[in-house]
Amino acid sequence: MVTISVEHDKWAKESIISGMGERFAEIPTLTNSISLGEKYMEIKTDDYHITYQPDSASVICKGSLLLSSAEEYMPILQLLNGAAEQHNTLTLDVKELEFLNSSGINMFTKFVINVRKKPDLEMTARGYQEIPWQVRFLKNLQRLLPTLELELE
Amino acid sequence: MTTQIFGDFIEEWDNDAEYLKVSFSPFSASLKQRWQTNGLSADFIGDYLQTFFVGKPKNPSGINTPIPARSKNAVKYIANELLENAMKFSDQVSFSPTKIALYLYNNQLIFYVTNSINPSNVDNFQAVLRELTHEDPHDLYFHRMEANASDENNTYSGLGFLSMICDYSAKLGWKFETINQTSVPIITVTTMVSLNI
Protein backbone atom coordinates (compact mmCIF):
# COMPACT_ATOMS: atom_id res chain seq x y z
CA MET A 1 0.00 0.00 0.00
CA VAL A 2 1.19 3.51 -0.74
CA THR A 3 0.17 6.55 1.23
CA ILE A 4 0.76 10.01 -0.10
CA SER A 5 0.35 12.87 2.29
CA VAL A 6 0.72 16.44 1.30
CA GLU A 7 1.31 18.95 4.01
CA HIS A 8 2.02 22.51 3.16
CA ASP A 9 2.62 25.71 5.04
CA LYS A 10 0.32 28.59 4.58
CA TRP A 11 2.68 30.25 2.09
CA ALA A 12 2.79 27.31 -0.35
CA LYS A 13 0.93 27.74 -3.60
CA GLU A 14 -2.22 25.79 -2.94
CA SER A 15 -3.00 25.46 -6.63
CA ILE A 16 0.29 23.62 -7.22
CA ILE A 17 -0.23 21.34 -4.21
CA SER A 18 -3.80 20.51 -5.12
CA GLY A 19 -2.79 20.04 -8.74
CA MET A 20 -0.13 17.54 -7.71
CA GLY A 21 -2.71 15.83 -5.53
CA GLU A 22 -5.04 15.48 -8.49
CA ARG A 23 -2.28 13.96 -10.61
CA PHE A 24 -1.46 11.43 -7.87
CA ALA A 25 -5.13 10.55 -7.48
CA GLU A 26 -5.29 9.60 -11.17
CA ILE A 27 -2.66 6.90 -10.83
CA PRO A 28 -4.59 3.65 -10.27
CA THR A 29 -1.89 1.88 -8.29
CA LEU A 30 -1.98 4.43 -5.50
CA THR A 31 -4.50 4.92 -2.75
CA ASN A 32 -6.51 8.07 -2.75
CA SER A 33 -5.51 9.19 0.71
CA ILE A 34 -4.23 12.68 0.06
CA SER A 35 -4.55 15.22 2.80
CA LEU A 36 -3.53 18.84 2.90
CA GLY A 37 -1.81 19.82 6.10
CA GLU A 38 0.90 22.07 7.45
CA LYS A 39 4.54 21.53 6.70
CA TYR A 40 5.68 18.99 4.12
CA MET A 41 4.83 16.58 1.33
CA GLU A 42 5.78 12.94 1.43
CA ILE A 43 5.39 9.62 -0.30
CA LYS A 44 5.73 6.74 2.12
CA THR A 45 5.63 3.00 1.59
CA ASP A 46 7.02 0.00 3.42
CA ASP A 47 10.19 0.23 1.28
CA TYR A 48 10.91 3.93 0.81
CA HIS A 49 10.11 7.39 2.10
CA ILE A 50 10.44 10.54 0.01
CA THR A 51 9.90 13.84 1.82
CA TYR A 52 9.74 17.36 0.42
CA GLN A 53 10.46 19.93 3.13
CA PRO A 54 9.64 23.45 1.88
CA ASP A 55 11.20 25.11 4.96
CA SER A 56 14.63 23.73 4.10
CA ALA A 57 13.97 23.59 0.31
CA SER A 58 14.98 19.96 0.29
CA VAL A 59 13.80 16.57 -0.90
CA ILE A 60 15.01 13.69 1.25
CA CYS A 61 15.03 10.14 -0.08
CA LYS A 62 15.24 7.16 2.27
CA GLY A 63 14.97 3.40 1.84
CA SER A 64 15.15 1.25 -1.26
CA LEU A 65 13.74 2.16 -4.67
CA LEU A 66 13.05 -0.90 -6.82
CA LEU A 67 9.95 0.11 -8.76
CA SER A 68 9.30 -1.62 -12.04
CA SER A 69 8.59 1.17 -14.52
CA ALA A 70 8.60 4.87 -15.32
CA GLU A 71 4.88 4.90 -14.55
CA GLU A 72 5.46 3.64 -11.01
CA TYR A 73 8.14 6.28 -10.47
CA MET A 74 5.86 9.06 -11.70
CA PRO A 75 4.62 10.20 -8.26
CA ILE A 76 8.21 10.68 -7.06
CA LEU A 77 9.13 12.51 -10.25
CA GLN A 78 6.06 14.71 -9.82
CA LEU A 79 7.11 15.48 -6.24
CA LEU A 80 10.64 16.41 -7.36
CA ASN A 81 9.43 18.55 -10.26
CA GLY A 82 6.91 20.24 -7.99
CA ALA A 83 9.61 21.05 -5.45
CA ALA A 84 11.79 22.50 -8.22
CA GLU A 85 8.96 24.87 -9.15
CA GLN A 86 8.83 26.32 -5.65
CA HIS A 87 12.40 27.45 -4.95
CA ASN A 88 15.51 29.11 -6.34
CA THR A 89 17.71 26.66 -4.45
CA LEU A 90 16.90 23.02 -3.85
CA THR A 91 18.75 20.20 -2.11
CA LEU A 92 18.34 16.53 -3.04
CA ASP A 93 19.45 14.35 -0.12
CA VAL A 94 20.06 10.65 -0.90
CA LYS A 95 22.31 9.85 2.08
CA GLU A 96 19.80 7.38 3.47
CA LEU A 97 18.85 5.92 0.12
CA GLU A 98 20.03 2.33 0.39
CA PHE A 99 19.32 1.06 -3.09
CA LEU A 100 18.29 2.41 -6.49
CA ASN A 101 17.53 0.30 -9.58
CA SER A 102 18.11 1.46 -13.16
CA SER A 103 14.49 2.58 -13.57
CA GLY A 104 15.09 4.81 -10.55
CA ILE A 105 18.31 6.16 -12.01
CA ASN A 106 16.28 6.90 -15.14
CA MET A 107 13.74 8.84 -13.07
CA PHE A 108 16.37 10.99 -11.36
CA THR A 109 18.07 11.72 -14.68
CA LYS A 110 14.73 12.90 -16.08
CA PHE A 111 14.43 15.19 -13.08
CA VAL A 112 17.87 16.79 -13.48
CA ILE A 113 17.31 17.19 -17.23
CA ASN A 114 14.14 19.09 -16.31
CA VAL A 115 16.15 21.20 -13.82
CA ARG A 116 18.55 22.03 -16.67
CA LYS A 117 15.69 24.01 -18.21
CA LYS A 118 15.53 26.23 -15.10
CA PRO A 119 18.78 28.25 -15.15
CA ASP A 120 17.73 30.23 -12.07
CA LEU A 121 17.50 27.09 -9.91
CA GLU A 122 20.63 26.18 -7.94
CA MET A 123 20.68 22.52 -6.97
CA THR A 124 22.75 20.65 -4.44
CA ALA A 125 22.88 16.89 -4.01
CA ARG A 126 23.96 15.18 -0.76
CA GLY A 127 25.37 11.69 -0.38
CA TYR A 128 28.03 9.76 1.49
CA GLN A 129 31.63 9.60 0.23
CA GLU A 130 31.92 6.13 1.78
CA ILE A 131 29.08 4.69 -0.32
CA PRO A 132 30.60 4.16 -3.79
CA TRP A 133 27.30 3.79 -5.63
CA GLN A 134 26.01 7.10 -4.23
CA VAL A 135 29.21 8.88 -5.32
CA ARG A 136 29.00 7.39 -8.80
CA PHE A 137 25.26 8.13 -9.12
CA LEU A 138 25.64 11.78 -8.07
CA LYS A 139 28.66 12.26 -10.34
CA ASN A 140 26.55 10.95 -13.24
CA LEU A 141 23.79 13.41 -12.36
CA GLN A 142 26.40 16.17 -12.26
CA ARG A 143 27.54 15.23 -15.74
CA LEU A 144 23.98 15.81 -16.94
CA LEU A 145 23.63 19.00 -14.85
CA PRO A 146 27.12 20.58 -14.58
CA THR A 147 25.88 23.28 -12.17
CA LEU A 148 24.86 20.59 -9.65
CA GLU A 149 26.82 21.05 -6.42
CA LEU A 150 27.78 17.85 -4.63
CA GLU A 151 28.09 17.56 -0.85
CA LEU A 152 29.67 14.21 -0.02
CA GLU A 153 30.02 13.66 3.72
CA MET B 1 19.31 -26.15 -31.28
CA THR B 2 20.54 -22.91 -32.84
CA THR B 3 22.70 -20.46 -30.94
CA GLN B 4 23.56 -16.75 -31.35
CA ILE B 5 26.17 -14.93 -29.27
CA PHE B 6 26.50 -11.19 -28.59
CA GLY B 7 29.24 -9.39 -26.67
CA ASP B 8 31.90 -11.03 -24.48
CA PHE B 9 30.04 -14.25 -23.60
CA ILE B 10 31.98 -16.79 -21.51
CA GLU B 11 30.47 -20.28 -21.26
CA GLU B 12 29.52 -21.52 -17.77
CA TRP B 13 32.33 -23.49 -16.14
CA ASP B 14 32.04 -24.54 -12.51
CA ASN B 15 35.47 -26.12 -11.96
CA ASP B 16 37.59 -24.25 -9.38
CA ALA B 17 34.72 -21.97 -8.48
CA GLU B 18 32.38 -21.38 -5.61
CA TYR B 19 28.97 -21.27 -7.20
CA LEU B 20 25.36 -20.57 -6.33
CA LYS B 21 22.45 -21.45 -8.59
CA VAL B 22 18.82 -20.50 -8.04
CA SER B 23 15.85 -21.37 -10.25
CA PHE B 24 12.50 -19.60 -10.24
CA SER B 25 9.57 -21.70 -11.34
CA PRO B 26 7.28 -20.29 -13.98
CA PHE B 27 3.90 -19.41 -12.50
CA SER B 28 0.84 -17.49 -13.39
CA ALA B 29 1.08 -14.73 -10.79
CA SER B 30 1.23 -11.26 -12.30
CA LEU B 31 4.49 -9.37 -12.77
CA LYS B 32 3.36 -6.97 -10.05
CA GLN B 33 2.96 -9.82 -7.56
CA ARG B 34 6.30 -11.38 -8.48
CA TRP B 35 8.26 -8.12 -8.59
CA GLN B 36 9.15 -8.05 -4.90
CA THR B 37 11.01 -11.34 -5.20
CA ASN B 38 13.73 -9.64 -7.29
CA GLY B 39 15.00 -7.47 -4.45
CA LEU B 40 14.70 -10.29 -1.93
CA SER B 41 16.68 -12.63 -4.17
CA ALA B 42 19.31 -9.99 -4.92
CA ASP B 43 19.67 -9.28 -1.17
CA PHE B 44 20.22 -12.96 -0.47
CA ILE B 45 22.79 -13.26 -3.27
CA GLY B 46 24.61 -10.13 -2.07
CA ASP B 47 24.73 -11.37 1.53
CA TYR B 48 25.79 -14.85 0.42
CA LEU B 49 28.77 -13.60 -1.56
CA GLN B 50 29.88 -11.18 1.15
CA THR B 51 30.91 -14.20 3.24
CA PHE B 52 33.61 -14.93 0.65
CA PHE B 53 34.80 -11.32 0.54
CA VAL B 54 35.30 -10.94 4.31
CA GLY B 55 38.97 -10.34 5.10
CA LYS B 56 39.96 -9.67 1.51
CA PRO B 57 41.32 -6.22 0.73
CA LYS B 58 38.71 -3.89 -0.63
CA ASN B 59 39.11 -2.57 -4.15
CA PRO B 60 40.16 1.08 -4.18
CA SER B 61 37.36 3.52 -4.74
CA GLY B 62 37.47 7.21 -5.45
CA ILE B 63 35.29 9.88 -6.88
CA ASN B 64 35.94 8.81 -10.48
CA THR B 65 36.51 5.07 -10.12
CA PRO B 66 33.94 2.38 -10.87
CA ILE B 67 31.94 0.97 -8.01
CA PRO B 68 34.02 -1.84 -6.39
CA ALA B 69 32.80 -5.33 -7.25
CA ARG B 70 33.25 -6.47 -3.64
CA SER B 71 30.84 -3.88 -2.30
CA LYS B 72 27.56 -5.50 -1.32
CA ASN B 73 25.69 -3.02 -3.47
CA ALA B 74 27.55 -4.14 -6.61
CA VAL B 75 26.40 -7.75 -6.34
CA LYS B 76 22.87 -6.78 -5.31
CA TYR B 77 22.54 -4.19 -8.10
CA ILE B 78 23.66 -6.55 -10.84
CA ALA B 79 21.65 -9.51 -9.56
CA ASN B 80 18.57 -7.30 -9.21
CA GLU B 81 18.90 -5.77 -12.69
CA LEU B 82 19.34 -9.19 -14.28
CA LEU B 83 16.33 -10.61 -12.43
CA GLU B 84 14.19 -7.54 -13.26
CA ASN B 85 14.97 -7.96 -16.96
CA ALA B 86 14.29 -11.68 -16.80
CA MET B 87 10.95 -11.12 -15.06
CA LYS B 88 9.88 -8.36 -17.43
CA PHE B 89 10.78 -10.11 -20.65
CA SER B 90 10.34 -13.82 -19.95
CA ASP B 91 7.76 -15.54 -22.10
CA GLN B 92 4.93 -16.67 -19.82
CA VAL B 93 3.54 -19.00 -22.50
CA SER B 94 6.67 -21.17 -22.59
CA PHE B 95 6.50 -22.17 -18.89
CA SER B 96 10.30 -22.13 -18.73
CA PRO B 97 11.95 -21.43 -15.38
CA THR B 98 14.20 -18.41 -14.91
CA LYS B 99 17.62 -19.30 -13.55
CA ILE B 100 20.41 -17.27 -11.99
CA ALA B 101 23.87 -18.68 -11.38
CA LEU B 102 26.97 -17.07 -9.88
CA TYR B 103 30.50 -18.36 -10.13
CA LEU B 104 33.21 -16.95 -7.86
CA TYR B 105 36.79 -17.45 -9.04
CA ASN B 106 39.99 -16.02 -7.52
CA ASN B 107 39.79 -12.77 -9.40
CA GLN B 108 36.46 -12.89 -11.21
CA LEU B 109 32.76 -13.04 -10.38
CA ILE B 110 30.43 -14.12 -13.18
CA PHE B 111 26.62 -13.97 -13.21
CA TYR B 112 24.41 -15.89 -15.64
CA VAL B 113 20.67 -15.36 -15.87
CA THR B 114 18.64 -17.47 -18.29
CA ASN B 115 15.05 -16.78 -19.19
CA SER B 116 12.71 -17.58 -22.04
CA ILE B 117 11.87 -14.78 -24.44
CA ASN B 118 8.86 -14.26 -26.67
CA PRO B 119 9.99 -14.74 -30.29
CA SER B 120 8.31 -11.46 -31.24
CA ASN B 121 10.65 -9.57 -28.88
CA VAL B 122 13.91 -11.10 -30.11
CA ASP B 123 14.62 -8.75 -33.02
CA ASN B 124 14.16 -5.56 -30.97
CA PHE B 125 16.27 -6.94 -28.14
CA GLN B 126 19.07 -8.01 -30.47
CA ALA B 127 19.04 -4.56 -32.11
CA VAL B 128 19.67 -3.02 -28.67
CA LEU B 129 22.49 -5.50 -28.07
CA ARG B 130 24.14 -4.72 -31.41
CA GLU B 131 24.12 -1.06 -30.45
CA LEU B 132 25.50 -1.81 -26.96
CA THR B 133 28.34 -3.91 -28.32
CA HIS B 134 29.34 -1.63 -31.20
CA GLU B 135 29.05 1.89 -29.75
CA ASP B 136 31.14 3.53 -27.02
CA PRO B 137 29.20 2.54 -23.87
CA HIS B 138 29.98 5.74 -21.92
CA ASP B 139 28.70 7.99 -24.70
CA LEU B 140 25.72 5.70 -25.23
CA TYR B 141 24.90 5.74 -21.48
CA PHE B 142 24.39 9.49 -21.37
CA HIS B 143 22.77 9.69 -24.80
CA ARG B 144 20.30 7.04 -23.63
CA MET B 145 19.51 9.03 -20.43
CA GLU B 146 18.83 12.11 -22.55
CA ALA B 147 16.66 10.13 -24.96
CA ASN B 148 14.71 8.46 -22.14
CA ALA B 149 13.94 11.87 -20.65
CA SER B 150 11.85 12.71 -23.70
CA ASP B 151 10.57 9.25 -24.71
CA GLU B 152 8.24 7.63 -22.17
CA ASN B 153 7.77 4.51 -24.31
CA ASN B 154 11.39 3.42 -24.53
CA THR B 155 10.99 -0.21 -23.49
CA TYR B 156 14.36 -1.56 -24.63
CA SER B 157 16.63 1.28 -23.61
CA GLY B 158 19.36 -0.99 -22.24
CA LEU B 159 20.06 1.51 -19.47
CA GLY B 160 20.49 -1.24 -16.90
CA PHE B 161 23.14 -2.98 -19.02
CA LEU B 162 24.90 0.32 -19.71
CA SER B 163 25.00 1.14 -15.99
CA MET B 164 26.72 -2.21 -15.35
CA ILE B 165 29.33 -1.54 -18.04
CA CYS B 166 29.99 2.09 -17.13
CA ASP B 167 29.48 2.20 -13.35
CA TYR B 168 30.68 -1.29 -12.40
CA SER B 169 33.22 -1.96 -15.20
CA ALA B 170 31.37 -5.15 -16.06
CA LYS B 171 31.80 -7.17 -19.24
CA LEU B 172 28.52 -8.41 -20.69
CA GLY B 173 27.57 -11.13 -23.13
CA TRP B 174 24.37 -12.78 -24.33
CA LYS B 175 23.56 -16.20 -25.74
CA PHE B 176 20.29 -16.88 -27.55
CA GLU B 177 19.27 -20.53 -27.96
CA THR B 178 16.34 -21.85 -29.90
CA ILE B 179 15.10 -25.21 -28.67
CA ASN B 180 13.18 -27.05 -31.39
CA GLN B 181 12.27 -30.17 -29.42
CA THR B 182 8.76 -28.95 -28.57
CA SER B 183 5.88 -28.34 -30.97
CA VAL B 184 6.44 -24.60 -30.60
CA PRO B 185 10.14 -23.58 -30.55
CA ILE B 186 11.26 -22.06 -27.26
CA ILE B 187 13.84 -19.29 -27.35
CA THR B 188 15.95 -18.62 -24.25
CA VAL B 189 18.46 -15.86 -23.63
CA THR B 190 21.34 -16.12 -21.15
CA THR B 191 22.77 -12.81 -19.99
CA MET B 192 26.31 -13.03 -18.63
CA VAL B 193 27.91 -10.34 -16.47
CA SER B 194 31.56 -10.62 -15.51
CA LEU B 195 33.27 -8.50 -12.83
CA ASN B 196 36.93 -8.41 -11.86
CA ILE B 197 37.27 -8.63 -8.08
Q: Between chains, do A106 and B145 touch, taking CB under 8 Å as contact?
A: yes
Task: Report yes or no: B149 at the A interface, CB cutoff 8 Å.
Answer: yes
ipTM above 0.95, yes or no: no
Q: Which residues span the domain enclosing A70?
A: 46-152
| Residue numbers in chain B where pLDDT is lower than 70 | 27-29, 54-64, 94, 152-156, 182
The predicted structure's pLDDT at residue B153: 60
Q: Residues of A132-152 as b/e, b for ≥16 C-beta within 10 angstroms?
A: bbbbbbbbbbbebbeebeeeb
| Closest-CA distance of chain A to residue B72, Å | 10
Using alpha carbons, select from B4, B44, B7, B10 the residue that is nearest to residue B24.
B44
Q: What is the CA radius of gyration of chain A?
A: 15
The predicted structure's pLDDT at residue B88: 85
The C-alpha atoms of residue B90 and residue B109 are separated, in whole angstroms, by: 24
A74 part of a folded domain: yes
**At A85, which CATH number?**
3.30.750.24
Domain count, chain A: 1
Chain A residues with CB under 8 Å of B132 CB are none
Give me the residue spans of the domains in chain B.
Answer: 2-196
| List of residues 6+ apart from A98 with CB closer than 8 A | A62, A63, A64
A38 part of a folded domain: no
Please report the beta strands in B13-91, taking only residues with DSSP state E, as ranges in sequence order: 18-24
A41 part of a folded domain: no
Q: Label residue A24 by pLDDT band (50, 70, 90).
A: very low
CATH superfamily of B2-196: Histidine kinase-like ATPase, C-terminal domain (3.30.565.10)
Residues A117-132 have pLDDT tens digits of: 999 999 999 999 999 9
- The total of other beta-carbon atoms located within 10 Å of residue A25's CB is 14
Q: Which of B37, B41, B43, B61 to mutate to test the interface with A (most CBs of A within 10 A)?
A: B61
The whole-model pTM stands at 0.84
Task: Report yes or no: B157 at the A interface, CB cutoff 8 Å.
Answer: yes
A89 part of a folded domain: yes
